[in-house]
Structure 1
Amino acid sequence: MALVWVWDEAADGPFTMIWSLLVSLLASFAAREVVNGQAPSGLAPKKFLSIPLGNVKPSGWLHDQLVVQSNGLAGHEHEFYDYVAQTDWTGGNSYYSNLEEAGSYWFNAMVPHGVLLDDANVQSEVQQFLDYVLDHQDSTGWLGPEVNTTKPRFLWGRYPFFFGAIQMVEANPALATKVVPALHKFVALANTMLHNNGEGVEDWTATRWEDFVMTLQWLYDFHPDGQEDLLIDTMKMLKYTGDPWEDVFKEEFFPKTAVENLPNPFPVLTWHGVNMAEGLKALPATYRFTHNQSDLDAASKGWDLLFQYHGRPSGIYAADEYLAGLEAVRGTELCLVVETMFSGSFLYQVIGDPKFADRVERITYNALPATLTGDMWSRQYLQQQNQIASKNMNPNPFPNDGPYSNVFGLEPNYPCCTVNHPQGWPKFISNAFVTSPDQTSLVQVYLGPFSVNTTLANENKVSVTVDTLYPFGDTLTTTIRAAKPFTYQVRIPSWVSKGTIAINGGAAHAVAPSNGLHAVSVQAGTTKLVLNLPADITTESRPHGSIAVHRGPLHYAFDISRSQKVLARNAQQPLAVDLEFDATDAWQYAIDPATLTFHGASPKGGSLPSPVFDSGLPPFTITATACQVAWGVAGDTFAAAPPTNPACTGPATNITLWPFGATKLRIGEFPTFKST
């Protein structure tokens, strides 16, 4: 069924509401046609297989990032933060019961965090969480705080819990005997609910159905227990009762600007930033049971449209609560950052296009650390590309979020990001390596310091260590030990210029990637690879004639010197503070792109500082000739759009640009001038 229509973007009122409803219903019918059509049985294979949690570990500075996270808010919030420590359905006080958002998010994040750090305390906490939830499953199969209450049962809040439970089974297969029967019992109940006029589906569930589909596909792939038909039927029912992502991502319907003044032809929450980040997984998940190439094509196109019209040089896109266009002062939610990272990893594993991996790496090394203080005790709800203050904003540039949204704190604006953000680093690490479907090849997807221990096909035990400062260095030294020969593949990012590889001390040769991957035939025993992956400085065109500066995976910004004021301090945990940052120096600079110069110093002692993502700490910088220009502000809280072709108001000077993730106040999109 094809849907074609035209609407008046200026229209509002009853006609728009009725039309939007009609379109939504038609799209749902179209989706039902797709899932009820004759498709090949079983699930289509992915291009790459994920490796069970715990087989890939961080080392070097990446390991330190998890230590910092553990010592920060993520590792302590369950001890004091009342959003996590909710009252349970038996009247006690425990975060173990809350599967509506807080507990599920926290559990989903802290399971991989605890495993990757070998943190016994965190692993004990998540084990208690798992046991409590499963031990309270009721006779119908329901899981969550609605047990033995009259509260309505909505499905979505359980989905992040399922992801956490799956990861626990991956790390400890013995847990399958407890987890898998509980999941199957819940699936049988959910299937009945979905067939009963979509019971359990409200607005949020309708957008996030893909997360449950992925859980069902894990069961189908590894623990079907004879329930293959029920699992496939439940996948189809989730798609039928959910929002039609294949239409949302069509170019003719996709919003090209900030959406606050646009009518949405689909349910309004489809343009919600975090829902869209999660919705990016919907079509690759759908493809696995429809086998339709059109699902993958639509997913790839939707990804491109999202970043074309709402993307940021930091790698992520803007949505302050809803899609926000390209202006540099509009916001990006922290939940959106970590969910897009996870979705991008899934897209790469299903489709195999290196653009997904390139994007995830950019997001991880720029947007994620930029929205947290270096010690990770305070986080923002919204970050900005050009962020000249972090405070209670008056006026407020965010049409749908509050003026406190860019404060670094415990729970500015909404609490969801406090419990959800810790999944970012661990899931990036655990998805850094994958295997080919036949498990004869090991693939390094993300570049950074890692260690891997896994068993490939034919009982081939393989260990890999990657020694590197990347992205704060261009060289990666990889040592591979294998019981038998196999093919090792490493992703060569699109930004690499004149990359080389040397094998076992031999001469360096130019890398020759195919679809982004350079393949090496590894023999039994020990093999050593030395990759040198330099990159050129590049500039990106941004609105109003401004530019952004990149080198390799890192985006560079002017780090505005700042003062700090404590706005609030948690009574139970004094390290959990809300911080106001104000600029203490000029930031109104235009730069001359012709003068950009890279400076890559080797860190003292060969190791990076901890934490590395804070002012003045990364070893890489870029300098530029700059001059001050007339650049307006709104109140004292946010910068106007960069002036186009501005005249200098002062003499030329040199300024230093730092990796974006290390800046907390910044200019990331600059007007330009010619210094000669």
Structure 2
Amino acid sequence: MIFRLFCHGTSHARGSSGACWACYRPERTLVIVKAHTRQDANLDFTVAPKAFLSLPLGSVYPAGWLHDQLAVQTNGLAGHEHDFYDYVSKTDWTGGTSFYSSLEEAGSYWFNGMVPNGILMKDATIMAQTQAFLDYVISHQDSTGWLGPEVGTNKPRYLWGRYPFFLGAMQMVEYDPSQTTKVVNAFNKFISLANTMLHAGQGLEDWTRTRWEDFVIMLQWMYDNNYSPGNETLLIDTMHQLKYTGDPWELVFEQQYFPTGPVENTPNPFNLPLTWHGVNLAEGMKALPATYRFTHNQSADLGRISSGWDLLFQYHGRPSGIYGADEYLAGQGAVRGTELCLVVETMFSGSYLYQVSGDPKYADRVERIAYNALPATLTGNMWSRQYLQQQNQIAAQNMNPNPFPLDGPYSNVFGLEPNYPCCTVNHPQGWPKFITNSFVVSPDRSSLVHLYLGPYNVKTTLAGGNVVSVNVNTMYPFSDTLTTTINAQKPFVYKVRVPSWTVGGTISVNGGAAKAVAPVNGLHSVKVAAGKTTIVLDLPAEVTIEQRPNSSIAIHRGVLNYAFDIPRNQTILAQNAQQPMAVDLQFEATAPWAYAIDPTKLTFHNTLPASGSLPSPVFDSGLSPLTITAVACPIDWPIAGSTFAAPPPVKPSCTGTAQNITLSPLGTTKLRISEFPTFTLS
């Protein structure tokens, strides 16, 4: 018997056992097991503190253009999936029969993203949907403590599908503490069962082995909030069990084993190929900081992920801030793909890495990903999304030949579920979690930190009952200036991140003279008095050049990567029968795109509207107030088949007269060239 299920990031045939044939690999090499074996005698049953603490959901709300961006998401595909999309809408959560594999992957993903989406937008419909989902799952927990659709069935019980649900439920408790008891009670029952299963070697398959860190984060949330009093040893033992039955991320990120190019023809040294899977890596980057909290081994855990993070972006990084993995790690080629799930999971992992370690490089990259890679892979109205985006993308269509060795030719179409459906249900977490993690506090709650720059409204209580509200008025990243108004009952220290790309940044407090910013570990501190304080922060940047493969270059100014927005036409390939806005779109170029540019002839333009507001949706063609004029000349640049560009030619000759072309923020482009050959204007 063979049947199909939505299967942990893929849609594969399953056998009667329920195991994914294309995913499951039981081989575990002896060298890895030996290197990864826990030493019970050395267990430390305490959890180390983080460098910074996140604020509860509902403390930080988007304002200005960022609020509008989340409204576009809410009015688009993400906000309407429950109305029509099969993987989300096939459940009667009010007490009837569940037809939908709610905790195998799709429901967990959707719930995890839509909980903060609904709350940040104060959308009563979405909040009711997520509440019904939470209540249904908890009310159907069985007597053993198991949560999930396997209740009352003979399906195998694998742990991983519950983990995104845990993250969503944690957010609901943070926002609404009245739900603490029912959620925590359900968690405690499940933890006890899971601990027993893990000791017995049960509940494990390859996706559980790669993504164990999300369960550890839930366990640490329980520990940090004293939600399992008297059971702290059980919590930490379960953390250890997850780590030592899971894939060894400390070895995956070790330099001698880390791949320096595309891996489709490279044997995995551990016989664990799913550790080179793009989304698994994105989630797995939380594993070592989570491990550090219960091993207290700073060098082996925080040090290893820090160097591993650098290796990942050195060998697979993109100018958009993300890395390439068209299913598996793909090197630096400009037409190799990056999965949308990978984008949002890397953003979440980077936020967690910053909160544990305090290293500003993680925050810099998360902000770059959010303002480039995330909007680049969605249509402006967010009704259609890609599975894979490309840095040089001259067409979005069914690709023949196909540049993606391990993904289908439909992968870069903008649609409802091109290639695999996982990104449809998972991508909505991107913007909401970026917003909720944009402010953090010091462990003693004496300082408030503005981490990801943009427009926000914040209200929180710091140490000593100090009620603080913050309004950040800015069009950043479409402007260099942020005006922050703080009202506080008592004095405290306010900190703001100064991005590494800032040149000549200044800060003024309460109308005083502007002074040069002086960040320490990426943060500039301001001593805020009781009452009202106004801070004006100016963070200018220069146009910079990034060297890319084939002697090509990428163009940046500040956080934004710039690209040539290729004019295009649009063809509807498919339309959902229930929701006509959910369409699959083919884009084809309608103008030349084969240009070389002179990197010494770049002029930045800022045409911010006098109204002080930005167009909506701002991440769409022609709507950005920021552009760069480049001097370019047409060149011979081969294409592969008719659907993707060959690597940028080295030292090309001009085939026509030099001319000006306009570069736009990459996130506004849907067809683009962002890695350019160069020439010198004579």
Instruction: Check whether TM > 0.5.
Output: yes
Q: Find out whether 1:446 has 2:452 as its counterpart.
A: yes
- What residue is the counterpart of 1:13 in the other structure? none
Residue by residue, what CA displacement relative to the aligned partner does 1:361-393 show, whole Å, maximum 9, x if unpaired?
000000000000000000000000000000000
For residues 606 and 131 of structure 1, do their structure 2 counterparts lie closer, same or farther at Cα, with a shift above 3 Å needed?
Answer: same
Instruction: For 1:38-187, list aligned pairs within 5 A.
Output: 38-86=42-90, 92=96, 94=98, 98-187=102-191
1:617 match: secondary structure? coil
Q: Displacement of 1:97 after TM fit?
A: 5.7
Asked if 1 retains the 8 angstrom alpha-carbon contact of 2:104 and 2:161, the reply is yes
Q: Displacement of 1:452 after TM fit?
A: 0.6
- What residue is the counterpart of 1:12 in the other structure? none
- Alignment match of 2:206 (pick from 181, 203, 207): 203
Q: Displacement of 1:105 after TM fit?
A: 0.3
Q: Displacement of 1:87 after TM fit?
A: 5.7
Structure 2 counterpart of 1:556, which letter? Y
2:149 match: secondary structure? coil
- What residue is the counterpart of 2:380 in the other structure? 374
Asked if 2 retains the 8 angstrom alpha-carbon contact of 1:89 and 1:147, the reply is no
- Alignment match of 2:354 (pick from 337, 342, 348): 348
Asked if 2 retains the 8 angstrom alpha-carbon contact of 1:88 and 1:97, the reply is no
Provide the rounded CA distance (Å) in 2 between the counterparts of 1:617 and 1:159: 38
Q: Find out whether 1:615 has 2:621 as its counterpart.
A: yes
Q: Displacement of 1:31 after TM fit?
A: 2.2
Provide the rounded CA distance (Å) in 1 between the counterparts of 2:189 and 2:605: 58
Structure 1 counterpart of 2:176, which letter? N
- What residue is the counterpart of 1:245 in the other structure? 249
- What residue is the counterpart of 1:281 in the other structure? 286
- What residue is the counterpart of 2:600 in the other structure? 594
Asked if 2 retains the 8 angstrom alpha-carbon contact of 1:85 and 1:94, the reply is no
1:630 match: secondary structure? coil
- Alignment match of 1:25 (pick from 25, 30, 50): 30
Asked if 2 retains the 8 angstrom alpha-carbon contact of 1:444 and 1:490, the reply is yes
Asked if 2 retains the 8 angstrom alpha-carbon contact of 1:84 and 1:95, the reply is no
Asked if 2 retains the 8 angstrom alpha-carbon contact of 1:85 and 1:95, the reply is no
Structure 2 counterpart of 1:157, which letter? G
Q: Displacement of 1:37 after TM fit?
A: 4.7
- What residue is the counterpart of 2:558 in the other structure? 552
- What residue is the counterpart of 2:666 in the other structure? 660
TM-score normalised by the chain length of structure 1: 0.95
- What residue is the counterpart of 1:419 in the other structure? 425
- Alignment match of 1:464 (pick from 456, 470, 485): 470
1:547 match: secondary structure? strand
Task: Give percent identity, aligned residues only.
Answer: 71
- What residue is the counterpart of 2:239 in the other structure? 235
Asked if 2 retains the 8 angstrom alpha-carbon contact of 1:24 and 1:265, the reply is no
Q: Displacement of 1:50 after TM fit?
A: 0.5
Structure 2 counterpart of 1:116, which letter? L
Residue by residue, what CA displacement relative to the aligned partner does 1:461-505 show, whole Å, maximum 9, x if unpaired?
000010000000000000011000100000000000000000000
For residues 306 and 37 of structure 1, do their structure 2 counterparts lie closer, same or farther at Cα, with a shift above 3 Å needed?
Answer: farther
Q: Find out whether 1:306 has 2:306 as its counterpart.
A: no
1:167 match: secondary structure? helix
Residue by residue, what CA displacement relative to the aligned partner does 1:431-468 show, whole Å, maximum 9, x if unpaired?
00000000000011100001110000000000001000
Structure 2 counterpart of 1:577, which letter? V
Asked if 2 retains the 8 angstrom alpha-carbon contact of 1:391 and 1:580, the reply is yes
Residue by residue, what CA displacement relative to the aligned partner does 1:72-93 show, whole Å, maximum 9, x if unpaired?
0000011101122346899956
Aligned pair count reads 655
1:595 match: secondary structure? strand
Residue by residue, what CA displacement relative to the aligned partner does 1:395-418 show, whole Å, maximum 9, x if unpaired?
000000000000000000000000
- What residue is the counterpart of 2:631 in the other structure? 625
Structure 2 counterpart of 1:291, which letter? H
Q: Find out whether 1:455 has 2:461 as its counterpart.
A: yes
Provide the rounded CA distance (Å) in 1 between the counterparts of 2:26 and 2:167: 32
- What residue is the counterpart of 1:398 in the other structure? 404
Structure 1 counterpart of 2:618, which letter? V
- What residue is the counterpart of 2:480 in the other structure? 474
Q: Which runs of 5+ in 2 are unaligned?
A: 1-24
For residues 138 and 322 of structure 1, do their structure 2 counterparts lie closer, same or farther at Cα, with a shift above 3 Å needed?
Answer: same
Provide the rounded CA distance (Å) in 2 between the counterparts of 1:554 and 1:658: 9
- Alignment match of 1:540 (pick from 520, 543, 546): 546
TM-score normalised by the chain length of structure 2: 0.95
Q: Displacement of 1:38 after TM fit?
A: 1.7
Q: Displacement of 1:224 after TM fit?
A: 2.4
Q: Displacement of 1:26 after TM fit?
A: 2.4
- What residue is the counterpart of 2:343 in the other structure? 337
- What residue is the counterpart of 2:6 in the other structure? none
Asked if 2 retains the 8 angstrom alpha-carbon contact of 1:565 and 1:580, the reply is yes
Q: Displacement of 1:618 after TM fit?
A: 0.6
Q: Displacement of 1:430 after TM fit?
A: 0.1
Structure 1 counterpart of 2:67, which letter? H
Provide the rounded CA distance (Å) in 1 between the counterparts of 2:144 and 2:97: 24
- What residue is the counterpart of 2:500 in the other structure? 494
Provide the rounded CA distance (Å) in 2 between the counterparts of 1:66 and 1:90: 28
Asked if 2 retains the 8 angstrom alpha-carbon contact of 1:88 and 1:98, the reply is no
Provide the rounded CA distance (Å) in 2 between the counterparts of 1:219 and 1:442: 23
For residues 94 and 476 of structure 1, do their structure 2 counterparts lie closer, same or farther at Cα, with a shift above 3 Å needed?
Answer: farther
Provide the rounded CA distance (Å) in 1 between the counterparts of 2:79 and 2:34: 45
Q: Displacement of 1:601 after TM fit?
A: 1.2
Provide the rounded CA distance (Å) in 2 between the counterparts of 1:513 and 1:133: 46
Structure 2 counterpart of 1:469, which letter? M
2:87 match: secondary structure? coil
Provide the rounded CA distance (Å) in 1 between the counterparts of 2:64 and 2:94: 44
Asked if 2 retains the 8 angstrom alpha-carbon contact of 1:40 and 1:290, the reply is yes
Residue by residue, what CA displacement relative to the aligned partner does 1:44-75 show, whole Å, maximum 9, x if unpaired?
01000010001011000000011000100000
Asked if 1 retains the 8 angstrom alpha-carbon contact of 2:91 and 2:100, the reply is no
Structure 1 counterpart of 2:134, which letter? L
- Alignment match of 2:644 (pick from 618, 638, 647): 638
Structure 1 counterpart of 2:286, which letter? K
Asked if 2 retains the 8 angstrom alpha-carbon contact of 1:39 and 1:291, the reply is no
2:289 match: secondary structure? helix
Q: Displacement of 1:41 after TM fit?
A: 3.2
For residues 239 and 228 of structure 1, do their structure 2 counterparts lie closer, same or farther at Cα, with a shift above 3 Å needed?
Answer: same
Asked if 1 retains the 8 angstrom alpha-carbon contact of 2:73 and 2:428, the reply is yes
Asked if 1 retains the 8 angstrom alpha-carbon contact of 2:93 and 2:133, the reply is no
1:107 match: secondary structure? helix
